[in-house]
Amino acid sequence: MQIQTSLSTLNVLTVERLLEELEERFPITNPQPGTDLDQIMYRSGQRSVVDWVASRLSDGELPWASVEP
């Protein structure tokens, strides 16, 4: 017996929602005095991935993803 499932019943993660979660998880931050250089570089690397995804999405370079109006 096959069960019919509609997309509305699935918890679908869109690229836009993923980007929102990445923005929340890895926000833009300013280093504080005394922050270790390795920690600054690590956090900058995390944030650069978020910026890259946002840029690709806004430039339409992700053909399988569409920006919701």
Q: How many distinct structural domains can be found in the chain?
A: 1
Position 6 in a domain: no
Helix residue ranges per DSSP H, 1-69: 15-25, 37-58
Task: Give the pLDDT of residue 65.
Answer: 60
pLDDT digits (tens, 9 = 90+) for 45-68: 999 999 998 998 888 766 656 555
Q: What is the rounded distance in angstroms from the CA atom of residue 31 to the CA atom of residue 67?
A: 32
Position 29 in a domain: yes
Task: Give the pLDDT of residue 26.
Answer: 94
Position 46 in a domain: yes
Q: Structural domain of residue 37, as residue ranges?
A: 14-58
pLDDT average, residue stretch 19-45: 94
Please indicate, yes or no, whether the overall pTM of this predicted structure exceeds 0.75: no
Task: Give the pLDDT of residue 69.
Answer: 45
Q: What is the rounded distance in angstroms from the CA atom of residue 59 to the CA atom of residue 53?
A: 10
- The region of weakest confidence among 7-11, 14-18, 19-23, 50-54 is 7-11
Position 54 in a domain: yes
